[in-house]
A and B are shown apart, each in its own frame.
Chain A
Amino acid sequence: MSQKCEFSFPVEGENFDDAGKVSVEIKRLLKGLGITGDILRRTAIATYESEVNIISYAWQGTIDVRVTDDNILINIQDSGPGIIDIEQAMQQGYSTANDRIREMGFGAGMGLFNIKNCSDGFEILSEINKGTLLKILINR
């Protein structure tokens, strides 16, 4: 029998002051579920970059985390402008960030690349002027 645990957090676009708040909370919750070490770390990093992406580029979004005995699935769904060229967005160094994002220490075109590096499974679906869905799978 597989045990499941799910939680969901809203993230508001352009709320730069709170950037990272949700990810710190998700990390705390996962730690409480007994997830540690490299798996906790990779999940937290992938979540953080995704949260910064919503704040930086989308209008609003949600981060859903589902934990089972086998894996952690994170769905990051935003409503926003979408990604025109996903392949280009995945490239290291490619960014459309503004000064506000860069002042925070982000926007150097590392985000999606970092997320992919932390993931065992990774998928992006995006629709222009609707939004983006990012699916991240991390095996336990």
Chain B
Amino acid sequence: MTLREIADLLDARVLAGEKHLDTEVKTAFSADLMSDVLAFAKPGSIMITGLTNPQIVRIASIVDNSAILIVRGKIPPDETITLAEELDIPVLSTKYILFETSGRLYANGIIGCVRKIEGPGSVIPL
């Protein structure tokens, strides 16, 4: 799906990175724990989170997320948006909760970055 299609599907507001809406997204990682995003998110995936602080943008830049999708209708502080523009990371915000957001994207063909974490350090790839 493109970011534009994701925004339409979830009735999301585009808060940064309007020019990247044609970017194609195939995978996602949902988490409110940034250490897990660092550990498991794959390049090109969309980060789905309920956090809104500027660190989410830096994390997205580190793991090469294609975009950040903020859930539960949260609107990030200005610092987060400014940083997102600076680091060129699109930010979307939807009113749907994390579960609904993930489910709707999954139903439309977006899959997780990894399927399962079996044990310490072992990741079951897709």
Please list the residues of chain A having a beta carbon within 8 angstroms of any beta carbon in chain B. Answer: 17, 19-21, 23-24, 27, 41, 44-45, 48-49, 92, 103-106, 108, 110-111, 113-114, 117
Contacts and interface: CB of A to CB of B under 8 A. Distances in A.
Question: A interface, by DSSP: helix, strand, loop or mixed?
Answer: helix
Given A21-B58, A23-B58, A117-B121, A110 B36 contact: yes
B33 A110 contact: yes
B124 interface: no
Nearest to A95: B35
Contacts of A24: 58, 61-62, 87
B62 A44 contact: yes
Contacts of B34: 104-106
Q: 10 tightest A-B contacts by CB?
A: A20-B58, A105-B34, A110-B35, A44-B62, A45-B38, A114-B39, A24-B58, A105-B51, A108-B33, A48-B62
A17 B64 CA distance: 21
A17 B53 CA distance: 9
A110 B61 contact: no
B121 A113 contact: yes
A104 B55 contact: yes
A111 B121 contact: no
B106 to A, nearest CB: 23
Contacts of B55: 19-20, 104-105
A111 B35 contact: yes
Contacts of A45: 38-39, 62-63
A41 B43 contact: yes
B22 interface: no
Contacts of B54: 17, 20
Given A49-B35, A105-B51, A114-B35, A41 B63 contact: yes
B80 to A, nearest CB: 11
Contacts of B36: 108, 110
Contact of A110 (B39, B51, B56): B39
A48 B38 contact: yes
Interface in B82-117: 87
